[in-house]
Structure 1
Amino acid sequence: MLAEEFGYQVSPRPAVEMTPAVQDMVDKRVAALGDGPDKVKDSADIGCFVLVLVPAVAIALSTHEFTVLVPAVPLALLVATLFGKSVAKTKKAGIEAAIRTMEPIRRGPWQAWPGRLEEIPGQPQRKLLLLGPDGSVAREFHCLVPDAGWTGLTDGRGLIWFVGDLRFGGIAGLPGGKPMWWTGRPVADPKPKPPAQSGVGKVVEEELAREAVKYVFDKWLS
């Protein structure tokens, strides 16, 4: 875990135990994935069966040769079944992949990170920067940040809680978990961002890094 390599503190208990709302967010994200493979297969079966059979019925009605339906019906059933299985398999794989990316959130601890929030011109997302001990950017995310998160940091700098996998994203929040938000996946190959150059900014970020190292999660434990 990169936070531990940097010497930043991690919570002694999983984030879902410290902040039950994390589990609620995960459950809602899983529910938003939609119907399971079986329901998707049934819908695909019916839709495909009708789609394949309609031309045959149209031909039968226009030519009065209803014998064309004899091979058309089993053919439509076969095509619909194969299509439904394919759709269900794809849906199942997608759900399983999404659930796997949530496992680091279900099992992982909160990590204390020094961070910055910045505006992205013309976009509703904010730029979330998790900083290394020298103030350089360790990870960059573009995410929808609640107003309370945006205004909760002085000059856009402060300690950020993060749970998940930095390779795939997770949930971030202000200390205490209010508010929290999904980070999305990290920005691929972001432009290199050096540590803050201004004297004040550099001092603030160095102090935040020291806070992340000595941070105490116990005060948030019930």
Structure 2
Amino acid sequence: MNGKTETYLCLVCKKSFPLKSLIPLGTIRKVITEEIAQDFPESTGLDYICQADLTKYRMQYVQSILSSEQGEVTNLEYEVINSMQEHDLISKNVENKLDQHWTFGERLADKIATFGGSWAFLICFACFLVLWIIVNTIVMVKQPADPYPFILLNLILSCLAAIQAPVIMMSQNRQEAKDRLRSQNDYQVNLKAELEIRNLHEKIDHLLMHQWDRLAKIQEIQLDLLSEMSKRKN
């Protein structure tokens, strides 16, 4: 205190000001006092700060909020890029993977089953039956190789059916293995997509919460400035 007018020292600039030009630290928002405490750890709520220094710390706090927000967005983008670089794609070509492990017999069974279930096989087999019947009934009338009722033809058809059944079953087993791998791969892809979407939702919600909180703090500081300006005018 100097002379007739009470003066106090500002904590920051160490200059003397009238009491009406100083603001007690105890009346300032906590976030601002924390900024001041970083430079002056010995400060208490009974200390005073001038208007110019208080404005400086308010602007410093706003700048730190904005810079940390930009840094957080950059870190989020970096995490996404880094995760994409470190993790391999789950989707795979099942056909190429299986073709490398099938034996010659399994591949042959697959081709035979494919041909046996086509129109080409039906047409060829129908032509064979018609030709067999014509040869044994018209061409070789006196001494047919397989006279009516074509017992030899029935034997050939029975042998063909007996051989064709296990070949088709082998082909079906291979197809089931393909379908099983496809379903496993689809499940893995869907699970990864679901986890990635959930992770993105959490990051977006976290970012929005931080933004709203920071905007509210900035608005509070602006309201303090407006209140102080209105007091000065009055």
Common fold by TM > 0.5: no
Structure having the higher helix fraction is 2
Structure with the larger RCO, 1 or 2 (CA within 8 Å, 6+ apart)? 1
Which TM-score applies when normalising by structure 1? 0.32
Q: If you compute each CA radius of gyration, which structure gives the higher value, 1 or 2?
A: 2
Which TM-score applies when normalising by structure 2? 0.30
Structure having the higher strand fraction is 1
